Each structure stands twice: as structure tokens, then as C-alpha cells.
Amino acid sequence: MTTGRILLVALHFYLIYYFLYYLNTKGVIFQAFEMFRLKSCIDFKPYEGEKSYLQFEKLDGCWSYVGDLQNGQVVSIGSRCEYKDTVEHELLHALGFYHEQSRTDRDDYVKIWWNEIIDGQAYNFDKYDDSFISDLNTPYDYESVLHYGPYSFNKNSAVPSITTKIPEFNNIIGQSQDMSKIDLERLNRMYRCASSLTILDQCTFESINICGMVQNERDDKDWEHTLIATRITTTNKEYIMSFDTSKGLSGETAILESRILYPKRNEKCLQFYYKFDGSPKDELIMWLKTDDGTGNIRKSIQVKNVPGDGKKQWNFANIPFNTRAKFRYVFQGLKGDPQNSKGGIHIDDITLTETQCPTSVWQIRNFTSILKSSSKGDYLPSPIFYNSEGYCFVLSLYPRGPSNSNGDYLGIMFSLCSGQNDRALEWPAVNRQVTFTIVDQNPDITQRMSASRSFVTDPNQRYSKSNGVWVVSRSNFLQSLEPMTNSGDNKV
């Protein structure tokens, strides 16, 4: 953080875009705004004549001034900068933060190879005295989204300009995913954020008070606070909520209700993990209970019915709904066939946000072993998905990248497919933004460092076998080969 300049306390944005060429950039900037709202108390609103504002332009490169200039300031999101993490990087500058390697104590942690830096670019590696910047009493952060990568502004593509004194971090610095835990600690400490702007509820059930959730008094059984081996490893333990369906009668229910919640936005996204290991006839039903107009929370709407799958595996639920009235969300477990059940229904790691849910979620199991056994060119086909407009699409995931790609990067191909709504849809399908996000499995959504990449379908681009760009006509398919890594490494 800077102590030498005034910080932006009230943020406004003034977004300039002239042509559809800027559509993807605009979408990525909005994605970054949502990350700040989700993980801090920092908000952004459209420009309305304020003295201090951010003016986004597509200039040469990715750059921002540090702190508030008090008369409006430009943030450049140029070509090869249209990534959520890059926009986060530049917004943190505008909020008053310098690069991680600018810390007073940086020489204890990294080495700058001055002779390998492009002429005229050495100033990007300046460090500052602690009378000018503060680390806010936090340790050096190799994972910071504000840290340069090893090859930033380097002369020789094979020779680094910055290396870490703990060698294991050489592949970590310059990460292109998200703000780190320490980035957020500093941001929230400096701006005195007590809570997120868009998280309404979050529960891992580790506390005996189960996050204020309530057992319904009119059901047949209760959900049980249960200690199990973790979903990620078998060596650690964690608490979940379970409904035993192996005893009693078919049709018996257990109902667990959230505390009363008071929304600020209309849009909601409820996400959680669930598992069935009882009868295939068991069911998990999600309800929304809202104010009935008298102040009582008793108007019920069913938002999702999940039938037992018999697979005994943890699944990820992603449930959108809308409400502006105070409400509770409700889990109802339903016994299907107790005589053929040896387990029950289990839920864990609940997050409720006032954000847009992903259109679709593709859950890939045992990915570590898939990654180890895959060769370049091997791919996994996704199920068929539909977006909110009704377009059909599928994904192909290349764990080691497509056969014609450079480097060992994960690749994703997006393809439109023929679907049941084709005759009612607009063709060609242009000016739609597609965003891929690989989700970190940290149960705390504020600590997830998830990698995202986006592109917009362009009517001027057509599929070519030589370069693999996309088409958008109904008779063909749309595809994009996107390695999940930044193609550029120079952010200032």
C-alpha cells in the first residue's frame, strides 16, 4: 500500500467502449468488479460526475496509476490484457497498492537480475522505503496477483528477470488466477472491510451451532451433525449434516432451515456439496421460504429437486433464484426406501451469494490421476449443456493441451451443437461472451483462487484448420482453443 498518495475510498467507474471489439474487455472488467464485491467491501458504480473516477480505455498494455489522482484517471486494459486477474491487478494499483516486489524487504525474498531487464524498463522493479509504503504487517506474498512473474520485462525469453530465494516459488510468482489470501487481507485491512458486499451466507458446519440453521419442528426426523473424513483427503476430519434414510418409514422427512436472511440484490446463487449413499429413491428438495406479506416467513417455493443417484459420490449443486424479500433457504431430505438403504443424504460447504450463478458446472472427478495419465492431445468430452438463451454447447478439456499447442498447458475447446431450440434462436450466434472458470475447491469462497478466461463470438472470424479460430453459423460449430494461462507477462 502507498502512504505517499491519497487512497480511493469511494470508487466510481467511467467505462469507455466504442465498438463491439471492446465487448469482451467490458465483460472481463465487470467480472473483476464482482470479485471485489464478493471478497471485500469495495464497490463500483457508474460515473455520475464525481471528481474521482476510473476511466477504462483500451490503450497500449495493462497499466494503472497508484492511488487516487483526485481528478479522474485512466486504467488501460489493452490487447492481451483481457483477463480477470489482470484487471484485478490494475484495480489494486488504483486502490493504492504497489507491486509485491516493490516492498522494502523484497531483497530478502527475491533476486532481481538487472542485466536481464529490457532497456528502459528497470523502473518497474524499483523498491520503496517503508516511509513511503506499508506492508500492513503482512508477510511477503509469493502468490500475490501483484507479483511479477519470472520473465517479466526480460530480454531473453529463456532467462528470468526475477527469481525467488526459495526455489519452489519460482513457478508461483506471477500467478494468473485471482487475488491471493494475503492480497485480500491487506485490502480488507486497509479499507476496514468487515464483510463482503455479496455473500449472504456461508457454512462449513464446523461449529456446533451449524451457522444458525434451524431444525424444523414439524418434520419426522432431524439432520445430524456428523464427523467424517474430508471430501478432499481421508486423513483429516470435517463436520457435515446428514439425514439417515436407513431406518423408519418411506416418505419420512428431515427439514433444515437457514436463519432469516435480508437481501440487497434480487439475484441469488446457492452452491453446496451433497452426496447420496442410501436408497436410489431418496430425494433432496430445496425450498425458498419468503415473507408472505405479513412479515412472516412462510410462503414456500420449490427451487430444486435432486433425486438419489446411487453413486455414493460428492456432487456440486448450483441453484439460481431471485428474491428481494427476507427469506430462508430450506433443505428437505426425503426417505425413499429404508429397507434398501445403508446410508442417507449428506450436505456440506454451503455458500449463498447475491451474484449470477454459472450457466453450467462440469464436475470432473479424480483429475489429479487424469492429469498424470494424459498425453498432449488427449481430451475429455463434457455432457451437453444449454445456456439461458437456449443455445446448446459442449466442452472438450485437454489436460495437457491440444496436440498443436505450445507448452504444457491445460486447454479447453468450446463448441456450439445442434439442439432442440435451434429454429427459435438467432443465427449466427455472435456477440456472446463465453467464460471458462476452473474452480478452486477451498470451502471459503473468499479464499478461492479460480482461473478464468473469456472470449466473445465475433462475426468477422471464421473457422480455419490452419489457425483454429471459430465460426458462429448454425450449420457448423463454434470453437476456441484457449490455454488457461496469460499469453503476456508484462503488467505495470
Coil/strand/helix, residue 114: helix
Cross-strand bridge partners of residue 110: 164
CA distance linking residue 397 with residue 379, whole number of Å = 5
| Cell output for 430 | 455472435
How far apart, in whole angstroms, are the C-alpha atoms of residue 3 and residue 291?
A: 48
Is residue 34 among the annotated active site residues? no
Q: Is-contact 13 47, C-beta < 8 A?
A: yes
DSSP-assigned letters across all residues of 415-484: EEE--TTGGGS-SS--S-EEEEEEPP--SSGGG---EEEEEE--TT----TTT------TTS----EEES
Buried b / exposed e over 152-187, threshold 16 CB at 10 Å, is bbbeeeeebbbebeeeebbebbbbbbbbbbbbbbbb
Residue 99 marked ligand-binding: yes
The C-alpha R_g of the chain, in whole angstroms, comes to: 25
User: CA-CA distances (angstroms) from residue 107 to 113, 180, 261, 487, 490?
Assistant: 12, 21, 48, 28, 21
Active-site option among 34, 48, 88, 90 = 90
Q: Are 473 and 428 in contact (CB under 8 A)?
A: yes
**DSSP reduced 3-state for 86:** helix
Taking a C-beta distance cutoff of 8 angstroms, is the pair 312, 350 a contact? no
CB atoms within 10 A of CB 216: 16
Q: Is 89 annotated as a binding residue?
A: yes
Cβ burial of 288 (10 Å; 0-12, 13-18, 19+) is: buried
Distance CA 419, CA 409 (A): 31
Cis peptide before 428 (omega within 30 of 0): yes
- Going by C-alpha positions, the residue among 240, 318, 244, 245 that lies closest to residue 281 is 245
Instruction: Sort 225 into a burial class: Cβ within 10 Å, 0-12 / 13-18 / 19+.
Output: middle
Residues forming the annotated binding site for Zn(2+)? Answer: 89, 93, 99
Residues forming the annotated binding site? Answer: 89, 93, 99
Catalytic positions, please?
A: 90
